Every structure is written in structure tokens, then in C-alpha cells.
Amino acid sequence: MKLFVAGLFLFAGLHAQATTNPDWTAGVPVPVGGRPNPYDLSGGDFKIFRNAGKIHAQIYPVEITGMLPPYEPTRRLIEDTSKNPLRDFLNSILRGISGYHSMDDVLKELGLHPYPAPTDQGVYSVPYPEGVRPNHRMGLGLIESSHGVGFTFSCATCHSSNLFGKTVLGMTNRFPTANEFFINAKEAAKNISPAVFQFYTKATDGETQMMRQLKENMKSLGLKKPVALGLDTSLAQVSLSLNHRNQDPWATFSDQLSRTPRPDPILDRNPADSKPAVWWNVKYKNRWLSDGSVISGNPILTNILWNEIGRGADLYDLDDWLRSNEKTLQEITTAVFSSEAPLFTDFFPAEKIDLSLAKDGEQVFNKTCARCHGHYEKAWNLPNANQLSSVEKLKTTVVRYKTQTRVEDVGTDPYRYRGMKSLEQLNRLAISQNNGIVIQVQTGYVPPPLVGIWARWPYFHNNSVPSLCAVLTPAKNRPVFYYSGEALDKEKDFDADCNGYPLGAKTPASWKVTKHLYDTRKAGMGNQGHDEDIFLENGKELLSHQQKKALIRFLQTL
């Protein structure tokens, strides 16, 4: 029966077509409520495109990707229990491969999460590839090439997360380590010849050729380690990787590599880290990234382009792929733009939020926060509100975000937006021009829509603030450091009153390890800003303790 249903889904998908193309040029206003259906698809086609897009997000669809190591030889090497000199050598340069006993260990370390269970519903559910729940973690994809089966990682690697035991596609991965994976892979490729790899892994000639190509493509990668676990350096990797191409990168798709990469005056010396963004906010914007520097172009196509520059792909091949896979791009775009946020009441009883206090918080929000973050109409204000359940009363009925996405400088850490200056070189790539992609460096960051803000701790673009209580605290009094951890237990791993990481004596002992320590004194990790002229005036707080408490209760309903 499952195969029959999957067949019907595939058949329907072959015939569904998008007839409306969104206008991705700069300045096109966003309607009230955003663009959850950007191609104006009919109900049936919308579901088909959305579900197909979610599968592409799970299993990377770009078959010509620049990073495609052979799967079986890699798996055999990791799971080899015998005395393998190659495994020992890799352990000496990577310091850790011997700690992995299975491919699943590696995927877990990368930050990949289990697939949602068949019983999960709503935002916690995804359509399974071929209708069957895979037995590996979400984000791993196998691609059949002319030389053999390779593996790669998809959007879900950075854009899915665990939330109290539920996997949420489209949510920020709090602990992605994909950047470190690329750094380790480049080090391994540099030190191991394809012949040695073939001998010790029993790779076929085709799989060995895949390693040769991988080794060659790795030469075009410019890599940068994140300053802290939970942050991502993919944007820096794009610019640094372009600097490895020896012909003028602004006029050609050349894949010829430079032996002496061009220096980058910004990124060679400074961090430009940020956390992966949630998907459910994309529909409300007409410029993208945390700093709003992508002012034109489909943000999903842009992301795929940048992925492949950072994976060493041949841009001629990528240009052909983009032209030939318009429907795939429409499907992924539909999945991202239609994404919805998890609700606080999915995990906690509605009664945990004092309705009267939340209503007070709404008034505080509208006076203090709405001018930048938008207005949120609540069901508790409807004429029939007294007939609604406790859960229904807390829901947002309309999101009124800005029709033109704004950028504001409220004094937060500037390293991230300054780093985008290096990426303006992308504007002169023909592949960017062909797809209307324009990057324009900004001063400041986008005050984001606050839908699902309760689930997005820690806060600010660089994860420098552990809770909403800390956000509403003057910067000089915010925690200088804190420990992070997975949201497994909603009582122990989450401070519901402050909405974020438990601090001090409440911090779980297992979190208190170096890699989970966040130190805001490091460059790029500052927790300053977002206080003066918002809830401070000349250093004096404008909100009382009770008003802050009410505001947090209101924010938990968004």
C-alpha cells in the first residue's frame, strides 16, 4: 500500500507545474502574512511541491555537487574493526576517527538528527523518500554517479534541530559541525593518495576516481573554523573559495584553480560567523540573511549556488543544472517558504502561560518592539475568543511584518555584517547575474519576525545571549559566558521562565565541557547592543521586572 501511495505521489508530481514566477527583484513589497505559497499553486499542486521540496531538503538534489566521496569505501573504513594502517594514519592527523565505530557515529557528530517518527504530525512530520522512513539520519544523501555511489549532505544538516525529542525540519541546528567536517576532509585528502585509499578500503576503480576528483576539488576550498560550536562559517567559505580560482572569478565559470589564493583583507583576519537561520521567517522578507545583504534573487537558488562554490563545483556544470532543474528549485522554495514554527503549547500546557500576563505583554510589545519586529494579531482579541480553547486563544491569527525588510544598527556585534563586503565579488559572477542575485553590504542586521521566537534560543545572530531574560537585560549585565546543551528534557534543559538555557546552578553538569562554553569576550561573539533606545534611555531601564516577565509570556505565544 505504501508503494502504491508513493507511486501516486510521484505520478502527480510529474504533472504538477508552477505557472506563476515570483518577482525576486529588490524592493518588491511583501504582502501581509508573507508569501507561504510563492508560486500561487492550487491546493493540490501546493502540497505536491511542498512535499517534494521537503524531500529535496532531506536528500541533496544537486547531482553534480563538487563534494561526493564514495560511500561504501568510506563506510568500510570507519566501521573497520581490524588493524587498518590507513585508519590509524587518519586518526593521527584528524585525532578522532578511532572514536567512531559506525557511520551513524559520524553523522551524529556532524549534528544530523534522526528522522521524525511515523506518528509525528504537523511541523514535526516530513514525507519520507519513497514513502519509507530511512534508517539513517536526516541530511545524508546518496547520489549515483557514473563512477559509483557517493554521499553528501543536504539542507537538513544545518536547518533541522532537536526540540525536546522532536526533529524539526526548517529549524536552526544548534550544533552543526559541517564546517569542521570540510576542514578535516581537506586535511585527509591532502595527506592520502587515491592509490592508498583504494588499497586499504577495497574501493573500485570508479570509486577511486571519485576520490581523485574530490581531492582535486578540495584545492578550491577556502575554509574557516567557527569561533564557537553552534555558529557557521559557510558564507566566509564561499568568498574564500572564490579566492582559490585563478582566473578572473567575476567574468567566467572557470574551474581552474590557483596555487596562490588571493588574500582576503577581511576574512583572513576576522570572524564573520552566524547561526543557521530558521525557514519559517523567510516568507515575510524581501531581503535575506541575518544582515539583509541579499537584496535580490531567489534566496534558495542563491543558497545552492553558494553551497557549490563552497564545495568546489564546476560552475559551468552548476549553471547547466540550475537551468535544467527549475521545478526542483520551485519545490524547495515552496517547502522553505511554507515552513511553520513549533508552538510553545506543543510541549507545555496552555495554562503555563498566564493569559492576563501575556495580554499585558502584548501592550508592552506594541509600544516597545513592534516598530521593528512587526505586529502580531492574537486570537484572544477575536469577538468569539471566549468560545475558544486555552490553546486556541494563544495563537497568532495574522503576522503584520514590514512590507519592506529593514536593516537596523542597534549596536550588536558587527563582525558578521562587515564580513559580507568580501562576498560582494559574487555580484560580478555571470551565474549570479543570470539569476538576478545581488549582494549589498549592510550596516547592522534585520530585526527578524518573531514567529517561533520561543524555540530559537540562544539569541542574536551569533548566539551570544542565552535567554530572553538576558535579551531584556542591559548589555553590561548580560552573562559573559554560559554553557550550551541539547534540548532533550523540557524541564532540565530549558528555563521556561526566562525562555532559554538554564544558567548557573541550573546548568546541567554534562554541559560543562570546553566545546559547549560560549565566551562573549572573543571576537565575533560579543553580546553588546539591542538595549539603548529600545528598553533603555540614557542607561536607565524603561521596563519594570513585571513588564519584562509579561513581555516574555507574550513572546512565548508567537
Instruction: Return d(Cα 377, Cα 356) in angstroms, integer.
Output: 16
Query: What cell does 37 get?
Result: 505559497
pLDDT band at 244 (very low <50, low <70, confident <90, very high): confident
Q: Which residues contact 226 (CB under 8 A, 6 or more apart)?
A: 179, 180, 232, 233, 273
- Inter-residue contact 173 to 158 (CB < 8 Å): yes
Lowest-pLDDT range of 24-38, 60-74, 90-104 = 90-104
Q: What is the pLDDT of residue 15?
A: 56
Q: What is the pLDDT of residue 143?
A: 95
| Nearest Cα to Cα of residue 210 among 143, 159, 156 | 143
Residue 179 has pLDDT above 70, yes or no: yes
Mean pLDDT of the 509-513 span: 97
Q: What is the pLDDT of residue 10?
A: 46
Mean pLDDT of the chain: 92
Residue 539 has pLDDT above 70, yes or no: yes
Q: What is the pLDDT of residue 98?
A: 66
Mean pLDDT of the 366-387 span: 97
Residue 251 has pLDDT above 90, yes or no: no
pLDDT band at 7 (very low <50, low <70, confident <90, very high): very low
Instruction: Return d(Cα 385, Cα 402) in angstroms, integer.
Output: 27
Phi first, then psi: give them for residue 408, nearest 5 degrees: -130, 140
Bond before 474 cis per omega within 30 degrees = no
Domain boundaries, the chain: 2-262
Q: What is the pLDDT of residue 396?
A: 98
Q: What is the pLDDT of residue 248?
A: 53
Q: Which residues contact 482 (CB under 8 A, 6 or more apart)?
A: 458, 466, 501, 503, 507, 517, 518
pTM: 0.94
Q: What is the pLDDT of residue 89?
A: 83
pLDDT band at 9 (very low <50, low <70, confident <90, very high): very low
Instruction: Give tens-digit pLDDT for 459-471.
Output: 999 999 999 999 9
Q: What is the pLDDT of residue 257?
A: 55
Mean pLDDT of the 73-93 span: 86
C-alpha dihedral sign at 174, 178, 179, 180: positive
3: how many CB neighbours lie within 10 A of its CB? 10
